[in-house]
Homo-oligomer: A and B are copies of this chain.
Amino acid sequence: MINRLVEKIKKTGAPIVVGLDPMLKYIPQYIRQTAYAEYGETLAGAGEAIWQYNKGIVDAICDLVPAVKPQIAMYEQFGLEGMQAFQKTVDYCHEKGLVVIGDVKRGDIGSTSEAYAAGHLGKVMVGSKVCRGFNEDFATVNPYLGSDGVKPFIKVCQEEKKGIFILVKTSNPSSGEFQDRFLQEDGKPLYEAVGRQVAKWSEECMGDTYSYVGAVVGATYPEQGKILRSIMPKSFILVPGYGAQGGKGADLVHFFNKDGLGAIVNSSRGIIAAYQQEKYAAFGERGYADASRAAVIDMREDIAQALK
């Protein structure tokens, strides 16, 4: 799947992943009204609104980008009905040929991580039958529990040729609270130790040029990105924090390798709710999907300029 991701990035010229992180306030009123008219102001109504909204965006951007990244929390908040919208979205993106990165940030003790890995990337046996749960192509993984918590994901990646991105240095303002603590052993921050471990894990699961084991490093920390890029040469970096969170095109150059690859940049709000920005306001509510398309094209250009 990492080979497929690399190939699709080359083909589209867009090292971009669109974050499908729907909030009800982003969804045009006409979509919400139609959904509520059919299902009521209920969790099912919210799920339907999210699904219709996502579908419009996916149709508008699927030829431009290699991948999407649904943030499962935005679905999980609506309970089972939200999870249904998540599943429909994952399946629809697959139909449209997109690589799906499940932003699930799971991670637990060994036997439990096995279950998460099976549910999101792998398969389960029910009696004599093989069944698949959510079936994304990549998942994000939290490293706090150490190798026990990560290896079950790597095992499934090896079996299924799927991938993971491990949280190393996250994009949020307080990410440094624990991740930046300097370690006694070498005077370097914790995130570097996590990065070195990701580099080791990445060797266990190589695609043609990059590993199935990648990392998450926020666009909001470009200097740290530069160091982590060199620590984890074989890992793709999933870069959140571009756009709405403050990361700029010029900040991104450090996250890429000299081959122009090695990073994929996420934008969520900046694309899916583009029509709510002044810049794209002319599209109007009914043109929300076209506004998303325009925002992707602008982002592609912004990154291309930065990488020149």
Contact = CB atoms under 8 A, between A and B. Distances in A.
Contact of A149 (B87, B127, B132, B174): B174
Interface string A91-125: 00000000000000111111111011011100011
Interface residues of A, number: 78
A179 B107 CA distance: 14
A83 interface: yes
Contacts of A183: 181-184
Interface stretch (A190-198, A202-210, A291-299): A190-198
Number of copies: 2
Interface string A212-233: 0000000000000000000000
Interface in A120-172: 120, 124-129, 131-135, 142-149, 167, 170-172
B79 A178 contact: no
A173 interface: yes
A43 B73 contact: no
A82 interface: yes
A41 interface: yes
A287 B118 CA distance: 30
Interface in A37-85: 40-43, 45-46, 71, 73-74, 76-80, 82-84
